[in-house]
Each structure stands twice: as structure tokens, then as C-alpha cells.
Amino acid sequence: MEMVKELDPALIKRKRNGQINIKSGNKMDAVVKWTIWVLTALTILAFFFFDYTGLQLERAFTDTLHNIRVMFLEPGLSHFSWGEAFYQVGVTLGLGVLATIFGAIIAFFLALMAAENLSKPWLSNTVRVVVAFIRAVPTVLWVLIFAIAAGLGSEAAVLGMLFHSVAYLVKAFSESFEEVNPGIIEALRATGSSWWHIVINGVLPSTFTYLLSWTFLRFEINFSVAVAMGAAAGAGGIGFELFMASGFYFDLREVGFITYAILIIAIILEVISTRLKERYFPSSVKTR
């Protein structure tokens, strides 16, 4: 190893003040930096656009702490019974189940149309654009819009929740379909199988567990969506009871009880879906 006397100045990048630069200055770093700066600036700006009507920050915080203490340490029921509580949780779960199962059935057919390896480009692009459009509308707006046509109740809630479930599952399902080994499809095509044969004998068996896992992951999301629809769109279930307890009766103990009930179900669902993910999904796939 010979000693180097002089450094080649052409190889060293310097900043404007003559200091040696150690960052590469590539596009990726620049975009990361800019994204962070823009988000920071927007966050600071945001507080000037807020509506602070009737806000007394200090009192609000101490009140909230007190409320949370009452809620979580002294939960109780006063406006309905344990049996009623179970029934309402059941209604919320039921709404989630219905939206998930119907959503999965519809999404399966749409995903076949959206998957690039099973469909024509124009069809797959059309489905994708429609799905992106559906996803952009918040679920609660779908539910409320359907409520006008179908009347408030489980029908409007399920139909409204269906839209997002379908949009979510089409994306997940079609990505699973696209990962099917092309060899399987080619081999079946070579035997002269029809498109439906390919789907039922080639695509479905190799993706079935993925589809089921994704469907369950969506059920986990749909449970909390169903709670929200109960509270914001009058769809019934435990969400509606939560809305009544906090907004009409101002009964903190009951709010605490309901929150616990939701928390327990949500944690059970999360534990199951984490297991499913660890078992069936490679590390690259995550919940969306």
C-alpha cells in the first residue's frame, strides 16, 4: 500500500462555504428531505387555520383527565342491561360480517378483472380507476347517501360499508392473483383450458389462503367502521349506544363500559389477524 501524498480535488465535492460535502445529493435524499420540510411547514401552518371556538385548553385537559379516570376506573351500565350490551355488540359485529362477506364475494370477481395476468389492459385499468374513485369517498358519506334511498338502518349501513370493503379487497386480491406463478397459468392454457378453468383450477387453489386472510384483515377494519357508522350515521349497534351515552346522557361510566367492550373485541380481532399475517404473509406484505 503506497502512501498517497495528494488528494485528487476532482473527486471531492465541496459545499459553497468550501467545506467537504459528505451527502450524496441524489434525488432520493432530496425528496425525503423536501417531504419532511413540507410536512413540517404545513403542520405549523395548520394551527393558524384551526377553529378554536369555545376552547379553554387548560380546563379541557384537566376535565378530560378526570373523565378518562371515571370512564376507565368506574365503568358501569345504567341505560341498558348486560344482555342488551351483548346484543348491541352482536349487531356491530353482524354489520361488519355482512359488509365483509358480501364485499369479498364482489371483490373476488372485480379482482379477476383487475389482475393484469388474467384480464385485458383496458378492463383492468377501468376497474382500478373506479376502485380509486370509490376509495376516495369516506365510508360515512356512502352510508349517509344510501340512507336517503334505503332509509336509515342496517341495509344502508351494509351497502355503504360494502363500497370500501370492495375497494380494499379488490386491491389486495388482484395483487395476490398477480403473484400466481405464471407457469401454472401457462400450463393450463397449453392444455386448452377455458378462462374459468384456469381461475378455478390454477389461480384459486394457490391463492385461497391469502384471500381468506385478507378478508379477515378487512373484517378487523370493518368492525371499527361499524362502530363509527353506528355513532355517525345511526346504523345502530354498540356505536350508537356510545353516541347516546356520550352525547345525550353524558354518562361517563357507561361510555367507559362501552369503550371497554369495543377495546376487548378489537384486541381479540387484532391478535387473530397478527397470527394470520405471521403465518401466511411474507414480511413484505402488510396491512393497508
User: 6 Cβ partners below 8 Å, 6+ apart?
Assistant: none
Q: Which three three-digit cell numbers place residue 275?
A: 397470527
Among positions 37, 153, 200, 275, the unique one binding another protein when judged by CB under 8 A = 153
User: 253 Cβ partners below 8 Å, 6+ apart?
Assistant: 70, 71, 74, 75, 76, 77, 78
Among positions 31, 123, 187, 200, the unique one binding another protein when judged by CB under 8 A = 31
DSSP assigned state of 14: B
Block residue for cell numbers 383527565: 65
User: Judged by CB, which is closer to another protein: 42, or 123?
Assistant: 42
Q: Segment near another protein (CB under 8 A), from 37-45, 112-120, 174-182, 184-192? A: 37-45
Among positions 77, 85, 145, 276, the unique one binding another protein when judged by CB under 8 A = 145
CA distance 215 to 209: 10
Report which of 142, 136, 137 is spatially closest to residue 156, judged by C-alpha positions: 142
User: Nearest approach, Cβ of 78 to another protein (angstroms)?
Assistant: 16
Among positions 16, 25, 121, 248, the unique one binding another protein when judged by CB under 8 A = 25
Report which of 235, 230, 218 is spatially closest to residue 269, judged by C-alpha positions: 218
Residues 241-280 that bind another protein (CB under 8 A): 242-243, 246-247, 250, 252, 255, 258-259, 262-263, 266-267, 270
User: Nearest approach, Cβ of 194 to another protein (angstroms)?
Assistant: 22
Does 202 help bind another protein (rule: CB under 8 A)? no
Does 187 help bind another protein (rule: CB under 8 A)? no
Q: Segment near another protein (CB under 8 A), from 116-124, 166-174, 176-184, 233-241? A: 233-241
Please tell me whether residue 127 adopts helix, strand or coil conformation. Answer: helix
User: 42 Cβ partners below 8 Å, 6+ apart?
Assistant: none
Residues 40-59 that bind another protein (CB under 8 A): 40, 42-43, 45-47, 49-55, 57, 59
Does 201 help bind another protein (rule: CB under 8 A)? no
Asked whether the beta carbons of 130 and 163 are under 8 A apart, the reply is no
Asked whether the beta carbons of 193 and 201 are under 8 A apart, the reply is yes
Asked whether the beta carbons of 107 and 166 are under 8 A apart, the reply is yes
Does 71 help bind another protein (rule: CB under 8 A)? yes
Binding mask 88-127 for another protein (x = CB under 8 A): --xx-xxx-xx--x--------------------------
